[in-house]
Amino acid sequence: MAYLSIRWFLITLAVLTPVLLSLRLGHDRSFAASFHDGASMLYPDSVDLKEFEDASLRWSAADSPTYIMIVRVATEVEVQRTILYANRKRTPFLAISGGHGQTSTVGKVKNGIGIHLGRMSSMYIDTDGQSVVIQGGVRNGALISYLWAHGKQTMTTGCDCVGYIAPILGGGHGWLQGRYGLAADQLISARLVLANGTAIEVSQVRNPDLFWAIRGAGHNFGIVTSARLKIYDVEPSQKQWAASSFVFTHDKLESLFAMANNILDSPNRPVGMVHYLVFAFNPDVDPNHPIIVVWIYYQAASIPFQYTRPLYALSPVAVESSTTDLAGVNAHLYATDDGVACAKGFSRKLAPVSLQRYDIGSIRKAFDVFAGVPSSFHNSVMFAEGYATNRVEEIDANSTAFPDRAGKLLLSPILTYLPNASLDAIAEDISNRIRDALLEGSSSKLVSYVNYARGDESMEAIYGYEPWRLEKLRRLKKEYDPFGRFNYYAPIS
């Protein structure tokens, strides 16, 4: 009986801790009274519980942070005040934008303070027409639509629902990188609130070492409250995007990935062409094996037949083609704000691998692992993303902290399942085996895109194997975040 009493006491304490802490910490009237510019506080014990839960909800329910208070900030000053308050209370904090970062280290934020940037969502095009200034809470889809409406574009990513700033901090892959480089390469300057609450500007001229660091390892150094980005005129030939999807059964795998390697090896690879290969479960097509979907995107009115002819020759089960604009391309990935790819509340596990070409034997082994997952994971997919890398490779590899300009492919399972702690370890085991299979045929070490990182990768795998990179990052981390206040996303150690 004594054992049961202690057990129930511990369970009750675990349940009540966030509420008790919010009463002690969150309902600090002097702190709340210091905000006059539109901020609001949300608590787990308030009448606005649904709003608190919605603000806390993440793209992956696995390894989620927990909060005793969420501050919906509206200005840079409010970000500063919140960080200073959290520091005084020795409470962890985490910036919230799109809520898509799923690395396991964010789950180390327990009973923390969420700094929600959603109200910092304004943007404007500068008078020179060559740059846009955005606040820290601007979403990717909103930026695409805003620029497109003004005849402009920049390097944007493949999901409307993610924040735009966070991908920059890890590099930022997307549709137009073959033409313009990574999202990080578009950054001209940024306002950054540091761990001590100081707000500074970073650029090539002001704090240039930190400017280097936040373009690839930026999660470690501060909260970006605004950024100035390069933008470009949409030329007449760039106004349309052609998109085609081809559905195949698994026996075509070897031929499909050989075709993809031919695209990678092409000496004149088009800057506006992207390919995706996706494994997914569709029992209507194949009740026993995953299917393979090939997506081809091309910034033009149509896809040149030389890229689609080999796919038609393999007799696809189904083909769908359409023409849209850049604002509509993400819809083809079901990655609009209301699309299934953006849906929150599921548990998701990734295990990213960057490659320079497909080793077809390794791809088949990874497919076989994916094919054998339990039915609980049949909403999962495995992605192979092939963005054009023309301009990415042209930019000096040492100019930013992003370490992988030689990488041509991003591969990862996205294991998706209803939240269930008992399935988390199974998901990690599956993703481990897929990652191991993908690396088996590669002569290189593991390279993992930090924005997809699972949380168990080495520093070298996500920030580069060159010793000078890690030495520089560690020096800057010690200088700007000596107490590790920004240690909750792929921390530099």
- Kindly report, residue by residue over 419-452, the tens digit of the pLDDT: 999 999 999 999 999 999 999 988 789 999 999 9
pLDDT at 153: 98
pLDDT at 4: 44
Report the percent of the chain where pLDDT is more than 90: 87
Residue 473 DSSP one-character state: H
Two structure tokens written together for 492:
């530099």
Q: Are 146 and 81 in contact (CB under 8 A)?
A: no
Residue 16 has pLDDT above 80, yes or no: no
pLDDT at 13: 44
CATH (domain of 127): 3.30.465.10
Q: How far apart are CA 354 and CA 443, in angstroms?
A: 12
| Residue 292 and residue 373 in one domain | yes
| Residue 112 and residue 135 in one domain | no
Q: How far apart are CA 41 and CA 148, in angstroms?
A: 34
Q: Which residues pair with 70 in a beta bridge?
A: 42, 114
Report the percent of the chain where pLDDT is more than 70: 94
Residue 455 has pLDDT above 60, yes or no: yes
**Which domain range does residue 200 map to?**
123-235
pLDDT at 25: 55
Residue 63 has pLDDT above 60, yes or no: yes
Do the domain assignments include residue 427? yes
Number of structural domains found in the chain: 3
| Residue 421 and residue 458 in one domain | yes
Residue 11 has pLDDT above 50, yes or no: no
Mean pLDDT (the chain) is: 93
| pLDDT average, residue stretch 308-334 | 94
Residue 8 has pLDDT above 70, yes or no: no
Confidence band (pLDDT; 50, 70, 90) for 9? Answer: very low
Confidence band (pLDDT; 50, 70, 90) for 36? Answer: low
| Residue 193 and residue 93 in one domain | no
Of the residues 58, 84, 116, the one at which a domain ends: 116
| Residue 278 and residue 361 in one domain | yes
Residue 10 has pLDDT above 60, yes or no: no
Of the residues 186, 219, 235, the one at which a domain ends: 235
Looking at per-residue pLDDT, the higher value among 16 and 493 belongs to: 493
Of the residues 116, 132, 163, the one at which a domain ends: 116
pLDDT at 64: 94
Q: Are 115 and 79 in contact (CB under 8 A)?
A: yes
Do the domain assignments include residue 472? no
Do the domain assignments include residue 252? yes
Q: The pTM is what?
A: 0.93
- The radius of gyration of the chain from alpha carbons, rounded to an integer in Å, stands at 23
Q: Which residues pair with 228 in a beta bridge?
A: 133, 189
Residue 46 has pLDDT above 90, yes or no: no
Q: Which residues pair with 50 in a beta bridge?
A: none
pLDDT at 178: 97
CATH (domain of 373): 3.40.462.20
Displacement of CA 449 from its chain's centroid (Å): 9
Least confident range of 20-29, 138-147, 209-218, 463-472: 20-29
Of the candidates 366, 349, 382, 144, which has an alpha carbon nearest to the alpha carbon of residue 276?
A: 382
Q: How far apart are CA 220 and CA 323, in angstroms?
A: 40
Q: Are 212 and 196 in contact (CB under 8 A)?
A: no
| Residue 138 and residue 97 in one domain | no
Do the domain assignments include residue 9? no
What is the DSSP secondary-structure string of 235-257? Answer: -GGGS-EEEEEEEE-GGGHHHHH
| Number of Cα atoms under 13 Å in the Cβ half of residue 28 | 18
Q: How far apart are CA 374 and CA 279, in angstroms?
A: 15
Of the candidates 427, 435, 279, which has an alpha carbon nearest to the alpha carbon of residue 349?
A: 427
| Residue 276 and residue 423 in one domain | yes
- Kindly report, residue by residue over 146-176, the tens digit of the pLDDT: 999 999 999 999 999 999 999 999 999 999 9
The residue type found at 104 is S
Residue 27 has pLDDT above 70, yes or no: no
CA angle 420, 422, 427 (to 5 degrees): 85
| Residue 328 and residue 361 in one domain | yes
Residue 249 DSSP one-character state: -
Task: Please count the other Cβ atoms lying within 10 Å of the Cβ belonging to residue 165.
Answer: 32
| Residue 367 and residue 267 in one domain | yes
CA dihedral (82, 165, 445, 482) positive or negative: negative
Task: Please count the other Cβ atoms lying within 10 Å of the Cβ belonging to residue 286.
Answer: 17
pLDDT at 21: 52
| pLDDT average, residue stretch 204-226 | 98
Confidence band (pLDDT; 50, 70, 90) for 264? Answer: very high
- Kindly report, residue by residue over 230-243, the tens digit of the pLDDT: 999 999 999 999 99
Least confident range of 9-13, 61-65, 94-98, 149-153: 9-13
| Residue 110 and residue 139 in one domain | no
Q: How far apart are CA 341 and CA 328, in angstroms?
A: 15
Do the domain assignments include residue 6? no
- Kindly report, residue by residue over 66-121, the tens digit of the pLDDT: 999 999 999 999 999 999 999 999 999 999 999 999 999 999 999 999 999 999 99
Do the domain assignments include residue 485? no
Do the domain assignments include residue 480? no
CA angle 165, 168, 170 (to 5 degrees): 125
| Residue 393 and residue 275 in one domain | yes
3-state secondary structure of 490: coil
Q: How far apart are the first and last CA of the chain?
A: 45
Tokens 């003004």 -> residue: 150
Do the domain assignments include residue 187? yes
| Residue 131 and residue 270 in one domain | no
| pLDDT average, residue stretch 451-469 | 97
